[in-house]
């Protein structure tokens, strides 16, 4: 499904990179994914950058706030989930066992956003679109294709998201992981953390034409390979780190694979 017309409540709609060095990130991902970038100004000092493929928005970049730098929070890819109403969604967070991270915000008039943590501590953005629905292309080279929750308690986390967003977890035959069903489709997965010192988080996966070539290019650009390319049922994948320390996954999708 390369082209996306829009998103409904509970869909994964967007990712952006919160980084100390946006210009450095533009150079890295421009080379790695073949994207172009366009800065959006909202009249303040805040600059939000759209990553474009064929002139269509597919991801974002923003400079990490100073307070996050002082807290030692690393550069990180952030996951957005569409909601019908940000205020109503935020009001459900605490009763469902999660933690609101602040009030609803309205960045640049593109939408209304609430930052929340699920009961295991994984942070996610709830996005009510006003002018920007989300990524207009998916599952093409250099674009988002999958989201995966890595958590200390899969059952607790899934109970939260099921109540919040109407998701349904379904068992997968791998490492106590579950698939996440929404509107009759598997849209993501959730599984246990691979190591105890890694905090719960939403991992992002980008489609690439050649996983091995992308991993090699990442290293040439100053990044690192955390998990070397490996064959899995969905395709050949690798975990990478960009030249400023942000982790992400890339995958060459197997066109014959179906998650359901």
**Around Cβ 142, how many Cβ atoms within 10 Å?**
21
Q: Where residue 6 falls among pLDDT bands split at 50, 70, 90?
A: confident
DSSP 34-90: --EEEEEE-SSS-EEEEEEETTEEEEEEEEPPHHHHHTTPPPEEEEEEE-S-HHHHH
Q: Where residue 43 falls among pLDDT bands split at 50, 70, 90?
A: low
Q: Is the distance from CB of 202 to CB of 122 less than 8 angstroms?
A: yes
Core vs surface per residue 74-111: b (16+ CB within 10 A) or e:
ebbbbbbbbbeebeebbebbeebebebeeebeebbebb
Question: What's the average model confidence in pLDDT over 12-33?
Answer: 96
Question: Bridge partners of 63?
Answer: 19
Question: What's the average model confidence in pLDDT over 36-43?
Answer: 83
Q: Where are the domains of the chain?
A: 12-129, 143-253
Question: pTM (2 decimals)?
Answer: 0.95
Treating both helix axes as pointing N-terminal to C-terminal, what angle do 22-33 and 211-220 enclose, rounded to 10 degrees? 140
Residue 259, pLDDT score = 66
Residue 256, pLDDT score = 84
Indicate if the pLDDT at residue 253 is higher than 90: yes
CA distance linking residue 33 with residue 151, whole number of Å: 28
Residue 174, pLDDT score = 72
Indicate if the pLDDT at residue 170 is higher than 90: yes
Express each pLDDT in 139-158 by its tens digit. 999 999 999 999 999 999 99
Nearest 5°: phi and psi at 124?
A: -145, 155
Express each pLDDT in 106-144 by its tens digit. 886 789 999 999 999 999 999 999 977 899 999 999 999
**DSSP letter assigned to residue 111:** E
CA–chain centroid gap for 225, Å, is 19
CATH superfamily of the 12-129 domain:
2,3-Dihydroxybiphenyl 1,2-Dioxygenase, domain 1 (3.10.180.10)
Q: Which CATH class is domain 143-253?
A: alpha beta
Q: Where residue 219 falls among pLDDT bands split at 50, 70, 90?
A: very high
CA distance linking residue 225 with residue 190, whole number of Å: 22
Residue 131, pLDDT score = 78
In the structure encoding, which two tokens stand for residue 257, read together? 């694979």
Q: Residue count of the chain, please give it.
A: 260
CA–chain centroid gap for 161, Å, is 16
Q: Of the spans 37-51, 110-124, 164-178, which averages the highest pLDDT?
A: 110-124
Q: Are both 12-129 and 143-253 of the same fold? A: yes
Q: Where residue 260 falls among pLDDT bands split at 50, 70, 90?
A: low
* C-alpha closest to that of 11 among 135, 163, 100: 135
Q: Where residue 71 falls among pLDDT bands split at 50, 70, 90?
A: confident
Strands (E) across the chain are located at: 12-19, 36-41, 47-53, 56-63, 76-82, 99-100, 111-117, 123-129, 143-151, 168-171, 178-182, 185-192, 201-207, 224-232, 235-241, 247-253
Cα distances (angstroms) measured from residue 192 to each of 27, 55, 114, 153: 33, 37, 25, 7
Q: Where residue 65 falls among pLDDT bands split at 50, 70, 90?
A: confident
């Amino acid at each position: 499904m390369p082209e996306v017309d829009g998103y409904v409540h509970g869909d994964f709609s967007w990712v952006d990179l919160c980084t100390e060095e946006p210009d450095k990130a533009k150079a890295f991902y421009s080379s790695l994914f073949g994207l172009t970038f366009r800065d959006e100004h909202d009249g303040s000092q805040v600059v939000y950058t759209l990553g474009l493929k064929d002139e269509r928005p597919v991801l974002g970049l923003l400079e990490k706030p100073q307070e996050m730098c002082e807290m030692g929070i690393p550069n990180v890819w952030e996951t957005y989930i569409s909601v019908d109403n940000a205020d109503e969604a935020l009001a459900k967070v605490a009763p469902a066992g999660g933690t609101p991270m602040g009030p609803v915000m309205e960045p640049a008039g593109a939408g209304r956003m609430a930052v929340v943590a699920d009961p295991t501590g994984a942070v996610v953005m709830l996005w009510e679109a006003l002018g920007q629905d989300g990524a207009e292309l998916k599952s093409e080279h250099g674009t988002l294709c999958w989201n995966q929750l890595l958590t200390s308690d899969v059952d607790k986390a899934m109970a939260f998201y099921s109540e919040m967003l109407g998701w349904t977890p379904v068992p997968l035959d791998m490492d106590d992981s579950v698939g996440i069903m929404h509107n009759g489709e598997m849209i993501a997965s959730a599984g246990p953390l691979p190591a105890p010192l890694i905090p719960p988080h939403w991992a992002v996966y980008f489609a690439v034409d050649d996983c091995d070539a992308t991993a090699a290019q990442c290293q040439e650009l100053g990044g690192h390979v955390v998990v070397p390319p490996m064959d899995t049922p969905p395709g050949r994948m690798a975990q990478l780190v960009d030249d400023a320390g942000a982790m992400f996954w890339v995958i060459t999708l197997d066109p014959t694979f179906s998650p359901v």
